[in-house]
Copies of this chain bind each other. A is one copy, B any other.
């Protein structure tokens, strides 16, 4: 389990590195952290937007300033630098290296979400040691070496997994919103982070995409069984999609490793092709059917709703899109951020009272 000491307890003072890409869609980690832990963010680095505020750029985050570089963030007294992008493949852009060195030289910890392990970089590790600060690799996956045992009966909590039609379809945000809203419905819910952003926000989680193929499902199983001792609803952040050309294996390991009672399908409306690929996106109904079919032999599960990411639309357009999606899929749809997700919670309420899904 990837666990950040103090994460979620001691309040951190984070400056986020999002050079050249500080927008809601591009800087997923920055957006997530500012949305869900704004009091822990003191500044964002993006030299192309210096002088603006998070509020102006994201529509949330208040007066959190955008600064030129680590140097420019020092007046705001940060204690950590977060690498705030999630690039394809997880590689650290070379030009960011000098900012990391600057952060270490100024006594900041590093929170690193890339696949590259900065804590094992001799130059950076030596510098961190010399300055007495920490380099925390959020995707550290050493120590995961258990094959899943398939123990659905050991997990006493209900499990909801957010699945998607692609990367960047709102799976993490939907999981966060579901977790918050579930409290109003009488659940004692827990958000299960599986990506670097979720882990940095929640303070712990399973960096599933960095784990060796054989041990991905086992890592999820272990984490869920442990958390089910303290919570009655585990809301798992999904990754990519089971039809993704590069990451489908990760998505399926998440599905079979978590054995969800219910799934929420997340989608970016109007999308015709997969991000970064010349490949047509199948219709929503095909995603629903495939997920339910490939889940069933291990544990029957149902897609209980569609979460749409509509920030790019007017409210009127968003409502029309939701209506269209409901007609197309015959499932409740909403934008969880814009309109809440009580629609999904009603389906989950039903799960709470009955075991109908597990008997399908």
Contacts and interface: CB of A to CB of B under 8 A. Distances in A.
A195 to B, nearest CB: 11
B290 A246 contact: no
B243 A248 contact: no
Contacts of A290: 293-294
A297 to B, nearest CB: 5
A150 B249 contact: no
Interface stretch (A43-51, A197-205, A213-221, A230-238): A213-221
Contacts of A253: 213, 248-250
Question: What is the count of identical protomers in the complex?
Answer: 2
A245 interface: yes
Contact of A147 (B88, B210, B243): B88
A123 interface: no
Interface residues of A, number: 50
A213 B249 CA distance: 7
Nearest to A254: B249
A84 to B, nearest CB: 19
29 contacts: A89-B146, A89-B214, A89-B215, A90-B214, A115-B212, A141-B212, A148-B246, A149-B277, A150-B245, A209-B212, A209-B214, A210-B212, A211-B213, A212-B212, A213-B250, A213-B253, A217-B247, A242-B252, A242-B294, A243-B294, A243-B297, A245-B256, A248-B256, A249-B252, A249-B254, A250-B253, A252-B252, A282-B297, A294-B294
Given A149-B277, A248-B256, A252-B252, 5 more contacts: A209-B214, A210-B214, A213-B216, A249-B253, A279-B297
Interface of A: 88-91, 115, 141, 145-150, 208-218, 242-256, 274, 277-280, 282, 286, 290, 293-294, 297-298
CB-CB nearest 3 A-B residue pairs: A249-B253, A150-B245, A213-B250
